[in-house]
Structure 1
Amino acid sequence: MGEVAVVGLGGMGRAIARNLVRAGHEVVVWNRSPGPAEELVGDGARRAGSVAEALACPVVLSVLSDDNAFAETFLDSGVLDQARPGALHVNMATVSVELARRAAEEHGAHGLGYVAAPVFGRVPVAEAGALNILAAGEPGLVDRAQPFFEVIGQRTWRLGERPEQANTAKVLGNYLIACAIQSLGEAVSVAEAAGADPGEFAELLSSTLFPGPVYSGYGTMIAERRYQPAGFTAALGRKDLHLALDAAAAQQVPLPFGELLRGVFDQTIADGHGADDWAVITEQQPR
């Protein structure tokens, strides 16, 4: 079994680290606040005293919230100067295409490997070790990470040799989820106004025309108007929508639905729902 560090211990990071411990890997953990790290120490992990100490491991998985958190922790802190020569950093966060390019360049300049590996799947999916992993980077580097991917995911999708290719796929996937949520909200509102039971209507759609976790999960939330606990907040949804719009603009490809959704998300946040599940955007639709 290998030695691996996990940096960033939110719900997703904790689930990933715990599964790696259970699989018998030697897991080093670091988090800005000590509580989650101490919890994992109780499960058998070893707590690093700093990010630099975590980077002494041959493979580091980071699961941070956004561009700012990633850049502050790894790119702007000087910590790469202290990393183990030849170490591999696997960034599992949803970050911008621009930051992915910068990260690959800076890691390469320090003699470090860099792979982008964002995921599809919420925390319960991570806890079950059933994530879909979107990996991009040099094939040999992805091969080095694959034994860890096999523990935390059900499939690794190899999307190219440039890390930003995985981040493009991830933000476009989240863009499509946002489109599905919006269209579901519109359809449910019309059906409900016409006298249909919203829960039954949502079940009809997810059981026939649109099977799968997006329509079934969000359809139920929309029908019940239940947005807590938040599996993925509206604030994070707006962030990822903007990442998708930026990625499209860089390719000079318009996203008309994305521009509509920008206004929907902005109003949702302005209404104070940033901490609710992003299905709450459907409350902009009259019910």
Structure 2
Amino acid sequence: MSTSEVTVIGLGTLGAALAAALIRTGHRVTVWNRTPAKADALVAQGAARADTVAEAVAASPLLIVCVFDTAAVRELIGPYGSALSGKAVVNLTTGSPEEARSLAEWAAARGISYLDGAVMAVPEAVGTPDAFVLYSGSREVFDAHRRSLDSLGASHFLGTDAGVAEFHDLGLLSAGYATMTGFLHAAALVGTAGVTARDFLPLATSWLTGVVAFLADLAREVDSGDYAGGASSVAINQVAVGNIVRASRAAGIAPDVLLPLKELLDTGAADGNGSDSFASLVELLRR
């Protein structure tokens, strides 16, 4: 069997998008889902339907799994360890770093090559230049099946520790959630002055573009551990965040999303680090 043969197990919105992207790029795709009807559209596009997980496992040298959680991964492929021996499993199910490492150990004990991954795209963007996918685990699987993986989005191999991709996934989600939550708080706050979120958006976008550029300074300071002389000190930000919290409360807007940051800034200042850069807060997070 050639590496152009791929099985996709799990046809939720993301799994179906993965299978469709593989079909579009000329792969021979076998699909399986608990609800067989979810495969109908993919079969119409050229996929082969597997009636059982056993058939799905046997169909291809490369198995991509994208289901609800890690427990479902174990339930579905766990009974087929011997049948998977010598094959490659790419797990794109959302999980924790610990779960990824545990699955990698399970696979290694059975002669299965394991690669963990995280899709950083909405289903509609899979297979387009807007999508990228993070991988960690077996370098051999990544190299051997790179063409197939690139069909899903730009591929990034992050190391042989199977948990690293999940750490990156969670880190990127954390940064994204903080940004979106901050925008929602800002929209609620300016909304009390009669400003719509749409009218506020251009200024917010311009401001955040500058914030993104500032991340390079933060990264340099975090990696060096040198927080002296930063352009944005703990003390300056302590005042700014305090003002936001007070203004929010006065306007009847909950400041809850900012309270953890205020606590970090207050602690940093109380520890005598008010003149250190904002990046120094990472030491409090580590502590």
Instruction: Give TM-score scaled by structure 1 length.
Output: 0.69
For 1:107, the aligned partner's letter is A
Q: Distance in 2 between matches of 1:202 and 1:69?
A: 40
Q: Distance in 2 between matches of 1:258 and 1:142?
A: 41
Alignment of 1:196-211 (within 5 A): 196-206=195-205, 208-211=206-209
Paired position in structure 2 for 1:79: 80
Q: Distance in 1 between matches of 2:37 and 2:144?
A: 30
Q: Where in structure 1 are there 5+ consecutive unaligned residues?
A: 213-256, 262-287
Q: Distance in 2 between matches of 1:211 and 1:145?
A: 36
For 2:97, the aligned partner's letter is V
Distance 1:258 1:172, change over 3 A: farther
* Deviation string, structure 1 residues 79-137 (Cα, Å, up to 9, x no partner): 22322x31000011211111111100111111010001111110111153642110111
Paired position in structure 2 for 1:226: none
Paired position in structure 2 for 1:191: 190
Instruction: Give TM-score scaled by structure 2 length.
Output: 0.69
* Deviation string, structure 1 residues 43-81 (Cα, Å, up to 9, x no partner): 100011222222221001111122222222223xx1223
Q: Distance in 1 between matches of 2:105 and 2:160?
A: 13
Alignment of 1:102-251 (within 5 A): 102-126=102-126, 128=128, 130-153=130-153, 155-206=154-205, 208-211=206-209
Distance 1:125 1:11, change over 3 A: same
Contact 1:130 1:152 in 2 (8 A): no
Paired position in structure 2 for 1:52: 54
For 1:180, the aligned partner's letter is T
Are 2:6 and 1:4 aligned? yes
Q: Where in structure 2 are there 5+ consecutive unaligned residues?
A: 211-256, 262-287
- Give the 4+ runs in structure 1 shifted more than 4 A: 257-261
Contact 2:92 2:118 in 1 (8 A): yes
Contact 1:86 1:113 in 2 (8 A): yes
Structure 1 vs Structure 2: percent identity of aligned residues? 30
The offset of 1:15, in angstroms, is 1.3
SS at match of 2:151: helix
Q: Distance in 1 between matches of 2:13 and 2:31?
A: 14
Contact 1:55 1:87 in 2 (8 A): no
Contact 2:127 2:151 in 1 (8 A): no
Paired position in structure 1 for 2:219: none
Give the length in aligned residue pairs.
Answer: 213
Distance 1:112 1:259, change over 3 A: farther
Structure showing greater radius of gyration is: 2
CA-atom RMSD in angstroms: 2.4
For 2:35, the aligned partner's letter is S
For 2:74, the aligned partner's letter is A
Contact 1:88 1:112 in 2 (8 A): yes
Q: Distance in 1 between matches of 2:92 and 2:130?
A: 15
Contact 1:19 1:129 in 2 (8 A): no
Distance 1:211 1:124, change over 3 A: farther
